[in-house]
């Protein structure tokens, strides 16, 4: 069977798994404010405003509906480590695409809120598998000089998924009846069907093949992807030598478990990988994506929130491109530090504007979280501008780097489960925040921005003092760490390490 060898094509196909997450974000973001959704899943007394709108689910129930997907993703990410080690990176992604189709069918056919939640949990299970294993798959196939760019395509695919599904949902919002939300939820299956079929023509990870003693296949994949089919290429020989040494060294140890990731030798890597994903959620970016229509309703845009919201998604797509082009040159640490500082600044400005100029309507009796506070005039425009600037700061920094960084931290033997654990941290915090935000807007209002601004300040300090640089470094880092312990330099891994970074590496 024909197998694709172009590394860019391989990445382009694999990251469709990330687009599934993007499809979910924008389908929910665009749909939760539409009349069809609010009336079909209405829980409160129906009230008629100028548009004859219904109140929809209660704030905490809407939080639960939204959080169902990341809740399922948390479990899917954890299980993906076992699937990946057992069946391979490629087949794990294909399994995720099949599960996505099952979940989408249930969501599309939802007759009530419990059925909708079940379908979203199944969808989340799929997203957890794909979001954890797509970066691992690309990391293990890409050459070091292009690894950041190619893994970063995962985030770019997410942004494209968000943008495409948002406009599909916007177009369907003009349909009368339940087709307004059933059509976009049904169309979510299309990329998953493509992903399953296209992955058939992609090679398996050469590092996973080596772990399974399928050495000839591993050589063939490396030759196909990196040497135009020449198995005698010096690059192939060098890669295979490093992989063989690592596999033989690690084979002397027992099979990895999640508990091993908490051992003294691994705890620093584990904590850094887990916190990379936690901080990417605590920036508040996915909250912005899920509930952007709430924010723009507060800013006085009324029922005309979908098109202004879409500008944010366009910014997200466009501003991810610089990271794809330059993240390997910028390095991981500077990118995360700059992103954290800028996002902190825009969040605090928004908090100040809403605190100073915002008004609480209805004497604290709100039909929805979106109407918990209002702001008009020039301050409202400033809130919208800062929201756009926040997205423009996240897109080239924490967006792609949060997927690039964790797979680079771990040796081959533990990489599948370690990245799965890191990604599960992303999803459990995504779940908590998706559930927390509607009630938070309803109760503490502008202080929500203060909370996330403080998180950005904390992540800045955490990265500054404890996160090592991994850009352009070899994946098989066991020898590098051992050489550092002996006080030697190692292929430019850390030529002049700072005191803090040296402590971190020595504890590894």
What are the phi and psi torsion angles at 227 (to 5°)? -135, 25
- Cα–Cα dist 448/282, whole Å: 11
Is 27 in contact with 165 (CB distance < 8 Å)? Answer: yes
Beta bridge partners, 374, equal 359
Q: Which long-range contacts (CB under 8 A, 24 or more apart) does 491-495 make?
A: 494/468, 494/469
C-alpha atoms less than 13 angstroms from C-alpha of 215 in its C-beta half-sphere: 11
- Cα–Cα dist 170/450, whole Å: 31
C-alpha atoms less than 13 angstroms from C-alpha of 183 in its C-beta half-sphere: 17
- Cα–Cα dist 7/266, whole Å: 31
Q: Which long-range contacts (CB under 8 A, 24 or more apart) does 355-361 make?
A: 355/446, 358/298, 358/445, 358/446, 360/445
Q: Which residues of 47-72 are buried (b: 16+ CB within 10 A; e: fewer)?
A: eeeeeebbbbbbbebbbbbbbbbbbb
Is 223 in contact with 236 (CB distance < 8 Å)? Answer: yes
Mean pLDDT of the chain: 79
In 3D, which of 389, 406, 275 has the Cα closest to residue 341? 389
Instruction: Give the 3-state secondary structure of residue 275.
Output: helix
- Cα–Cα dist 24/398, whole Å: 20
Is 297 in contact with 305 (CB distance < 8 Å)? Answer: yes
Q: Which tokens in the block code for residue 102?
A: 């099952």
Non-local (6+) Cβ contacts of 345 within 8 A are none
- Cα–Cα dist 279/276, whole Å: 5
User: Helix 478-485 crosses helix 499-507 at what angle (to 10 degrees)?
Assistant: 120
Q: Which residue has the tokens 């950005």?
A: 456
User: Helix 16-31 crosses helix 147-172 at what angle (to 10 degrees)?
Assistant: 30
Give the per-residue pLDDT at 481: 42
Q: Which residue has the tokens 């995720």?
A: 96
Cβ of 459: how many Cβ atoms within 10 Å? 26
205 has pLDDT over 60:
yes
pLDDT tens figures, 354-395? 888 877 665 444 444 445 566 777 887 888 888 889 989 998
Cβ of 107: how many Cβ atoms within 10 Å? 27
- Cα–Cα dist 158/23, whole Å: 8
Least confident of 81-85, 90-94, 227-231, 345-349: 227-231
Least confident of 136-145, 327-336, 492-501: 492-501
Helical H runs in 3-112?
Answer: 7-14, 16-31, 35-40, 59-87, 89-108
Q: Please report which confidence band the pLDDT of residue 201 belongs to, taking 50, 70 and 90 as the band edges.
A: very high
pLDDT tens figures, 317-332? 899 888 888 887 888 8
Strands (E), 237-370: none
Give the per-residue pLDDT at 291: 60
491 has pLDDT over 60:
no
- Cα–Cα dist 89/406, whole Å: 16
CB-count burial class (<10 Å; 0-12, 13-18, 19+) for 207:
buried
C-alpha atoms less than 13 angstroms from C-alpha of 88 in its C-beta half-sphere: 19
Is 461 in contact with 93 (CB distance < 8 Å)? Answer: no
**Section 48-62 average pLDDT:** 66
Q: Please report which confidence band the pLDDT of residue 339 belongs to, taking 50, 70 and 90 as the band edges.
A: very high
Give the per-residue pLDDT at 98: 94
Is 55 in contact with 43 (CB distance < 8 Å)? Answer: yes
CB-count burial class (<10 Å; 0-12, 13-18, 19+) for 305:
buried
DSSP label of 109: T
Is 369 in contact with 293 (CB distance < 8 Å)? Answer: no
Region of residue 176 (phi > 0: left; psi between -120 and 50: alpha; otherwise: beta) = beta
**Maximum Cα interatomic distance, the chain, rounded to a whole number of Å:** 76
User: Which helix (DSSP H) or strand (DSSP E) does residue 165 occupy?
Assistant: helix 147-172
Give the per-residue pLDDT at 362: 54
Cβ of 97: how many Cβ atoms within 10 Å? 24
Which structural domains are found in the chain, ordered by start?
A: 7-229+261-476 (1.20.1250.20)
Give the per-residue pLDDT at 418: 84
497 has pLDDT over 50:
no
pLDDT tens figures, 425-470? 888 888 787 777 767 766 767 788 888 999 999 999 999 998 888 7
């Amino acid at each position: 069977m024909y197998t694709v060898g172009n590394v860019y094509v391989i990445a382009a196909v694999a990251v469709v798994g990330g687009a599934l997450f993007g499809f979910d974000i924008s389908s929910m973001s665009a749909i939760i404010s539409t009349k069809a959704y609010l009336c079909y899943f209405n829980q409160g007394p129906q009230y008629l405003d100028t548009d004859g709108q219904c109140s929809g689910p209660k704030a905490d129930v809407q939080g639960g509906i939204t959080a169902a997907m990341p809740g399922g993703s948390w479990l899917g990410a954890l299980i993906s480590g076992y699937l990946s080690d057992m069946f391979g990176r490629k087949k794990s992604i294909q399994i995720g695409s099949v599960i996505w189709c099952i979940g989408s069918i249930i969501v599309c056919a939802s007759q009530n809120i419990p059925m909708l939640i079940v379908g979203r949990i199944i969808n989340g299970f799929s997203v957890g598998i794909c979001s954890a294993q797509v970066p691992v798959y690309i990391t293990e196939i890409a050459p070091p000089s292009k690894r950041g760019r190619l893994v970063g395509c995962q985030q770019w695919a997410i942004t494209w998924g968000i943008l495409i599904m948002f406009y599909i949902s916007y177009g369907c919002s003009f349909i009368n009846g339940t087709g307004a939300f059933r059509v976009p939820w049904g169309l979510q299956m299309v990329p998953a069907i493509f992903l399953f079929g296209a992955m058939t023509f992609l090679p398996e990870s050469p590092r996973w093949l080596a772990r399974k003693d399928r050495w000839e296949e591993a050589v063939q994949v490396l030759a196909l992807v990196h040497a135009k089919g020449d198995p005698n290429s010096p690059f192939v020989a060098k890669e295979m030598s490093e992989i063989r040494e690592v596999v033989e060294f690690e084979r002397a140890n027992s099979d990895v478990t999640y508990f091993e990731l908490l051992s003294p030798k691994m705890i620093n890597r584990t904590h850094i990988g887990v916190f990379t994903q936690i901080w990417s959620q605590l920036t508040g970016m996915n909250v912005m994506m899920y509930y952007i229509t709430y924010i723009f309703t507060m800013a006085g845009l009324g029922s005309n929130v979908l098109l202004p919201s879409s500008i944010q998604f366009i910014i997200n797509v466009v501003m991810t491109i610089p990271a794809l082009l330059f993240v390997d040159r910028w390095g991981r640490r500077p990118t995360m530090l700059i992103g954290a500082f800028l996002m902190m600044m825009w969040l605090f400005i928004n908090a100040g504007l809403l605190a100073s100029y915002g008004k609480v309507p209805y004497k604290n009796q709100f039909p929805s979280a979106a109407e918990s506070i209002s702001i008009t005039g020039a301050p409202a425009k400033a809130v919208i501008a800062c929201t756009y600037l926040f997205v423009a700061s996240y897109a080239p920094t924490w967006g792609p780097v949060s997927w690039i960084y964790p797979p680079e931290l771990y040796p081959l033997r533990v990489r599948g489960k370690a990245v799965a654990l890191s990604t599960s941290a992303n999803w459990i915090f995504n779940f908590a925040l998706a559930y927390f935000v509607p009630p938070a807007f309803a109760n503490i209002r502008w202080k929500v921005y203060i909370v996330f601004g403080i998180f950005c300040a904390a992540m800045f300090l955490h990265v500054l003092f404890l996160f090592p640089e991994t850009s352009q470094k070899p994946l098989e880092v066991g020898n590098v760490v051992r050489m550092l312990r002996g006080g030697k330099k190692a292929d430019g891994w850390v030529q002049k390490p700072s005191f803090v970074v040296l402590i971190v590496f020595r504890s590894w």
